[in-house]
Every structure is written in structure tokens, then in C-alpha cells.
Amino acid sequence: MYMYVYIYIYIIIIYLFIIIYIYTIYILYIYTIYILYIYTIYIYYIYILYIYTIYTVYIYYIYIYYIHTINKFIYIYKHLWMAVQHQVDLPQLTCGGFDLAPISLPSERSDMQSETPPASTQKTNFTLSAASANVQTFYRGQEGYANKLTYVREQFVAHGINILGLQECRTDTGASQYQDVLRLAGGCDKGCLGIEIWINLAQPFLYQGGQPQRFARGDFVVVARDPRHLLVHPKNSSIDLWLLAAHAPHSGADSAAREEWWHNLSTLISTHAPADNIIIMIDANAATGPQDGRHVFQNDDKATANTGHFRALLHDHSLCVPATLDTHEGPHGTWISPVDESLHRIDYVLIPCHWQSRCTLSMGLSNLDFGHLGDHQATALQLEWQEDSASIPRRARGRGHDRTRIRHSALTHQLQQYQPLPWHTDIER
């Protein structure tokens, strides 16, 4: 009997073992299936991402190619309307593109030469004056003196000076004209320094046949500027000049900085302005040193810290100091020392050496008031010379046009009757 019990228990244990084994196999199978499913989804997503990346790169390269191709032919697209717009005043479209062959030039005719009036030669008397001054500052907010600009401008006009170079203006970059005074400003450096050149457009600089000629605003071009220099090129049919206003570092500045500034100024002149027709208006912060008979003359001075640099500029560009000539009138000094109120000459108007004979007057303008006590005084010169210049007789003035009547005129019919001329029409005939 016990034997049957044991057999029964043994069978139950084997049955349970089989059930557990089968369940374990089932769990492992389900888990394997799940892992394979997850892995398959992962691989699928990786594949989709790969396909998307390849597609994106493909689209990108197509876009780049398209843009590159468009840029090649963009100039054609701009003018594509000309190929479909049939107008006689447009060039004809051919197999090789638009027919843009140059038109036939007009034949040379002797009667065309007679259209230009014959030139005649007349004596032209030039009278050109220039001055230089350090104004310390023009009125800006709480700085300087109110109405100083107007005050100095009125005196500039009253003295009949053509050109005035100014240092330490402390003004912004720009060009302006009030009445007949043209101001060209090189700009300041954070409220310090600043160069300006003024031109009196009402003051004649030459007389031809008794008729005066004056500068016009369009005669002047600013070539180079910074807070310490301003280079301007005035040019018209009668005169070709270069004007340079500059402000050198004082003797207390670092020696290397002073040497670099003078070198850069010399390079500026060599690069842009021929030395044979330049006028330099400079606060040199330097005395002239002893005379040499070519650059510095009888009324020489002692040497100071910047004299070597100053003399090198004179020598390298064949410039002279008219204020040292016997033709100079008035005080030689241009700066009053705040220490002992002694007068020193550090401001100059320089001209080419071969213009020395043209300088008929050099003088210190102590009566040109800049609205501040002490410090700098202006220095000026006058150049006079005569040339044989060609003049063209004035033509009789034709009928003018009253532009204000255009909007009130009945022009619709005339404009509708307009017929464009063929592209190859000779406009000279």
C-alpha cells in the first residue's frame, strides 16, 4: 500500500517538473519572440533613418546644383523679356544671342571741327591765399563757446582768405555749406583733435580778361582723412591743387609715436599728392631750426623736439616755409606758452620750393580772433602768379526750360505719338 503512495507521489512530482519545464520553455520562447520583435523594429527604424538621410543629402545636392545653375544663367533671366518683347528699339535676337554689334561711327567731317569755338590765349592772373590756425574747439554742448563757429566764419570771409586749414576743431565728419563757406571736416577722436578745411566760395582765385573766377563746391574731393590730417584735391578747368591740413603730436608725446606720425604723413603725400602743387596748413608743434637757403630762410628759429621730423618733411617733398622769408609781416610767433607767455612759431603754411617767387605776402593774423584767450594765432600767405591760359568764348545762351510748367502742360497727345527709333539708329546724325 505504501508502495502505491510513493509511486503516486513520484508521478505527481514528474508531472509538476514537466509542467514547469514546458512553462519555462514557453516563457523563453515568448521572450525570444519579443526580443526579435523589438530588434526588428529597431532595425526598421535604423533603415528608415538611413533612407531619410540619403534622401536629404540627395535633395541638398540637387538644390546646390540648381542654385549653381541658376547663378550661371541669372543674367539671362534678367533680360529674357527682351526675347519675347518685339520692339524696334531693342536689339534683335539671333542664334548667337542678341545682336549687339557696335554701330558705325560717324564719318570725320571738317565741318564738325568748326562746331567747337577756337581757343584763344589770355593772360590769367592767379591770386590765392591760405591760412592755418588751431582753434582748440568749436562749440559742442557744454564745451567751447556758443556761436564760435559763426564768429570765426564771419572773420574768415571778412579777411578775404580763399582757404583756411583748422586744427583741434573737435567736430564730426562731414561736409556742409553755409552761405559761401564750404566746410570739409575730417572728424574727431572721441571729442579730441579733428581737422577741417574751409573754402571761401565767394572769393575769386583768378582773373581772366578782367573776369573773376571762384571755386565751386564740386571742385573739391576728400582723398584721405583722420583726426590728425585731412587731404583734399580741388580741381577745375583752371587750377589743379592739393590741400593738406594736419596736426602733429606735441613734443611731450612718445618719441616712437611722433616718428611714426611724421613718417605716415610723408607717405600720404608721396602716395596721393604730387609735391609740386600742394599747400600744407599744419600745426607742426615744431620750430624751424636754422636756415638752409632752400627750405628755411632768413627768419629762422631754434631747433626743438620735432624739428628733425619737420625738416625731413620739407626736404623729402621740396617744401619751404614762407614765414621765414623777408616778405613776412607781423609777428612770427603763432603759439603763446602758458608757462611764461612767450611767443613761439609752430604753425605754418607750407608751399613747394619752386613757388617761393609766387609768395608775395606772409603774415601772422593776430587780428583773426578765435574767441579764446591766448594759445594759437593764425598764420597766412598770399600767392600771385600769371599764366597764359586758353579760354573758350562763351556761347550765346539758348532757351531755358521751365520745369515747373511740366505738370500743368497737356503732354498726353505728344507722348502718345512718340515712336521709338530702331536699335541701330546712329544717334550722332
Q: Residue 290 — φ and ψ, nearest 5°? A: -70, 160
Residue 351 is inside which H or E element, if any?
A: strand 347-352
The CA distance from 85 to 191, in Å, is 59
In contact, 184 and 230? CB cutoff 8 Å: yes
With cut-offs at 50, 70 and 90, classify the pLDDT of residue 419. Answer: confident
The CA distance from 88 to 69, in Å, is 32
pLDDT of residue 306: 94
Coil, helix or strand at residue 321: coil
Q: Which DSSP string corresponds to 151-184?
A: HHHHHHHHTT-SEEEEE-----SEEEEETTEEEE
pLDDT of residue 9: 79
Q: Average pLDDT of 341-364?
A: 93
CA 339 to each of CA 122, 302, 336, 342: distance values in angstroms, whole numbers, following the listed order: 55, 19, 9, 8
CB atoms within 10 A of CB 333: 19
In contact, 217 and 236? CB cutoff 8 Å: no
Task: Identify the weakest region by mean pLDDT among 269-273, 378-382, 425-429.
Answer: 425-429
Does the pLDDT at position 278 exceed 60? Answer: yes
Does the pLDDT at position 394 exceed 60? Answer: no
Antiparallel, parallel or unpaired: β 97-98 and 93-94:
antiparallel
Output DSSP code: residue 333. -
Task: Identify the weakest region by mean pLDDT among 28-32, 194-198, 239-243, 287-291.
Answer: 28-32
The CA distance from 380 to 348, in Å, is 8
The CA distance from 289 to 284, in Å, is 13
Q: Average pLDDT of 296-315?
A: 94
Residue of 247, 268, 198 whose CA lies nearest to 346: 247
Which range, 36-40, 87-91, 139-143, 152-156, has the best average confidence (pLDDT)? 152-156
In contact, 139 and 152? CB cutoff 8 Å: no
Say what the pTM is: 0.65
Antiparallel, parallel or unpaired: β 359-365 and 328-329:
parallel
Does the pLDDT at position 341 exceed 70? Answer: yes
Q: Average pLDDT of 384-400?
A: 64
With cut-offs at 50, 70 and 90, classify the pLDDT of residue 131. Answer: very high
- Tell me what percent of the residues of the chain surpass a pLDDT of 90: 44
pLDDT of residue 401: 66
